[in-house]
Structures are given as C-alpha cells and as structure tokens.
Amino acid sequence: MEEQVPPKTVENLRDWRRYWNTWPQQLEQTDFLRQVERTQGGEPANQEQLRLVVEAISGALALGGGDFLVDLCCGNGLVTKQLSPACRRIVGVDYSSTLIDVARRYHAAANVAYLRAAADEIGPERGERRIRRKS
Ligand SMILES: C[S@@+](CC[C@H](N)C(=O)[O-])C[C@H]1O[C@@H](n2cnc3c(N)ncnc32)[C@H](O)[C@@H]1O
C-alpha cells in the first residue's frame, strides 16, 4: 500500500527521506521534472534549462570518456542519464526507492547503474562493485 504524503509542516519536512519517497508517488511516473522539484513557479523546467545544467556539470568536472562518476542524490536519474555519454561509467545513488525505481525504468543506459542508498552509507567500493556487475 502507498504511504501517504505527510503534510508540509516544519516537523515533517525534517524527514526528508520519507518526503522523497512519498512525494513522487503522487505524480505520473514520467513527470520527471516535478518528481525532483526542478520547477519554477510550479512549472517544470524546460529542456534548454536542463541542457544547461548538464553542460555546466560536464564542463566544471571536465568529464572525459575515461571517467568514472558517482552521482550522489541522483533522484530519478534524469541528469545522470544525460551525463552518461560524457563518461565511461556512472553510478547514481539515492535513498528514495521511489525515485530509484523510476531511474532504473526510464533512465537506464549501458554504462549507468543505480543504487538505492544514503549518500553517507556508501564508499567507492560499493558503487564500483555494483557497476562491475553490470558490465
Ligand atoms: C532536488 S532532488 C535532485 C535530484 C537530482 N540530483 C537532479 O538534479 O535532478 C534531491 C534528491 O536528493 C536525494 N537525497 C537527499 N538527501 C540524500 C541522502 N542523504 N542520501 C541519498 N539521497 C539523498 C533525494 O531523495 C532527492 O532525490
């Protein structure tokens, strides 16, 4: 049974893990931008804004074809997937099982793996093991 989205009180907003598990369940499975709250005035960001974000990350990290990338707090993998052509391998990590399910279903690629875990629970070994299993 689906968990109810807690009301947005200050106390409930402190429970971010629960928030990111429940909020996206209220939306269509393909409402990717709203699921990760990439919105402006309540409207989803447009493709050009998303492209600029991806370009800024690739540029700032100077990503190259040999790079192994870990995308902490990857959400539904929208950005992760778009970064994948710029590197060798990429592991998206997020503690929301709802968003990781969406990522695996809609934002898969040959060099991408998704791991459901809290950012402070993983080390390079765990991400590396997961991606090796895929390749
Ligand atoms: C605003 S969304 C951004 C998602 C994605 N990075 C993007 O740019 O589209 C924030 C994400 O961070 C995740 N998150 C927050 N704290 C986390 C933590 N400690 N460990 C893992 N994931 C976390 C949430 O589940 C949520 O998916």
Question: Residue 2 domain-assigned?
Answer: no
Nearest-CA residue for ligand 1 atom 15 is 73
pLDDT of 110 above 80:
yes
Structure token digits, residue 99: 């968003």
**Nearest-atom index, ligand 1, CA of 119:** 20
Structure token digits, residue 113: 């793996």
Nearest-CA residue for ligand 1 atom 12 is 73
CATH number of the domain at 97, please.
3.40.50.150
Can you give the pLDDT at residue 16?
A: 87
Segment (H or E) for 5: none
Question: Residue 94 domain-assigned?
Answer: yes
Question: Residue 4 domain-assigned?
Answer: no
For residue range 31-83, what is the model confidence (pLDDT) as tens digits? 999 999 999 898 999 999 999 999 999 999 999 989 999 999 999 999 999 99
Backbone angles phi, psi at 94, to 5 degrees: -155, 150
Cα(77)–Cα(79) distance, integer angstroms: 5
Nearest-CA residue for ligand 1 atom 4 is 75
State the total domains in the chain.
1
Q: Do the bridges between strand 68-72 and strand 89-94 make them parallel or antiparallel, or are there none, so unpaired? A: parallel
Q: Among 15-29, 50-64, 73-87, 112-126, name the one with the lowest average pLDDT.
A: 112-126
- Lookup result for tokens 């929301």: 96
Question: Which of 110, 117, 125, 20 is CA-nearest to residue 72?
Answer: 117
Segment (H or E) for 22: helix 16-22
Give the mean pLDDT of the chain: 88
pLDDT of 126 above 70:
no
* Residue 94 near ligand 1, beta carbon < 6 Å: yes
pTM of the model: 0.87
Write out the residue range of the structural domain in which residue 44 sits.
Answer: 10-134
* Residue 95 near ligand 1, beta carbon < 6 Å: yes
